[in-house]
Amino acid sequence: MQGNGASSEQAKGQRVLARNLAVLPAFSLFTYPFACVPVLYFFMRDRGIDKSEFAALQSIYYIGMAVFELPTGWFTDRFGRKLSLVLGPLLLALGFFRIFRAHVFGEFAVGELMFAMGHATLSGPPSALLFESLLGVGRETEYLRQESRMSGWRGLGTAIAFLAGGVAGHLFGLSAAVLLTSVLCAFAFLAALFVHEPVQSSPLARNAGHAVARRLVAVFRKREVAWLLSYFVLLFVLMRYGFHTLQPWLERSKTEGPLFIGAVTFVFAIVAYPFTRKAYLLGNWLGEVIALLTLPVLVSCALLGMSLGTSLGLLPFFLLLQIPFGVHWPIVHSYANHRIPSRDRALSLSALSFGGRIGFAACFPLVFHTGSKVEHDYLAVAAVSIALCLVLAYLRPRGESPATVRTASER
């Protein structure tokens, strides 16, 4: 009887995995279809938001995400992965619609907070759902390859959305790009309805609501995971700094046309696409730790190039920035998922995102304000980041087993 029960659970796990591997590409395609992002800075400027207020709104968004990260991670571990995949896109759609209707700073701030809550809700669940779908049938070693595939779909959807936002902004005005983003987010909601909860997640609800602080301490006291948190804060701050300063850099180059900016960001995202799909090869070739350390170095090199001026001839340096953007998700999440137990998976992944967003919210207003010149700031940020990369390389985990930290239910 016990053998029949195990066989039945294995068969159920196979069906769940097959369904999720079929549905998750569609969900990934519309996870972050942020068509307005390439022109959001200019949209806000047209609505009366100055440069310092824009920086403040970005800090509000990142602080909001940090505030929502742990509660939404707890919610996911307590009530399952699918519900978060359904709710996240709805919150994103509502947030962008509020931004579309906004005309004063306070209204924009409300939209950014709604956007932050939706984004925070999706920080860990897609990765947790994919990993546990594989874990339920003993195929977790395929995670990095499968996550690279899903990240490729995610990047492709973002790239197409960027181009669509530029076209919409050119033809119908910048506000059309924001409204389009709200509509596109709803497609991820529809895809999430067809996702199945992994068998591996079924016992979580009984225990996940207790001793959240102790659970996090137990996970992050492990040297490998603590190092990953420090690393991710640096990488996230660097990538987001480069991302949020591209538009002001282009503004200084007198290239504010939405079609041009949408096309440029589309090209950047498409350049990242093949690297994203093959991220598992990079991780397997260099090893997880060396692959991770390579990413902030590439971002620093991109910033050094952009510090030379605001000529459009320097735009190729931003191509370097796209490689870390494209490959960091699967490599970081593979490193984390193989070291975090299922009960704590979404909460711990949310904690990583929490650290990165708190770091960015604290740093961005310090290096981006009304009187600053973006190209001058790039040099200082790159110099500091290279020094921190050397520190992280020295402190990197050595000689530790990459074996998964598992609870009894995972064995």
Q: What is the pLDDT along the chain (411 residues), one digit of tens a residue?
A: 455 555 677 778 788 889 999 999 999 999 999 999 888 988 998 999 987 898 889 888 888 888 898 888 888 888 888 999 999 999 999 999 999 999 999 999 999 999 999 999 998 889 989 998 998 888 888 998 999 999 999 999 999 999 999 999 999 999 999 999 999 999 999 999 999 988 655 444 444 445 677 778 888 888 888 999 999 999 998 888 887 777 776 766 656 677 887 887 888 888 888 888 888 888 888 888 899 999 999 999 988 888 887 677 777 787 888 888 888 889 999 999 888 887 788 888 888 888 888 888 787 777 665 556 677 788 888 898 999 999 999 998 875 444 433 433 333
Residue 5 lies in a domain: no
Residue 252 lies in a domain: yes
Q: What is the DSSP string of 232-272?
A: HHHHHHHHHHHHHHHHHHHHHTT---HHHHHHHHHHHHHHH
Question: How far, in Å, CA of 174 to CA of 62, rounded?
Answer: 23
106 CB neighbour count, 10 Å cutoff: 9
Residue 1 lies in a domain: no
Residue 205 lies in a domain: no
Domains contained in the chain, number = 1
Residue 78 lies in a domain: yes
Residue 128 lies in a domain: yes
Q: What is the pTM of this model?
A: 0.78
Question: How far, in Å, CA of 127 to CA of 109, rounded?
Answer: 29
Helix axes 345-367, 125-135, angle to 10 degrees: 150
Give the range of the structural domain holding residue 365, as residue numbers without chain letter.
Answer: 10-197+212-401+403-407
Q: Would you state the structure tokens that stand for residue 262, as one six-digit string?
A: 């949408």
CATH code of residue 80: 1.20.1250.20
Phi, psi angles (nearest 5°) of residue 72:
-70, -35
Residue 207 lies in a domain: no
314 DSSP assignment: G
Residue 61 lies in a domain: yes
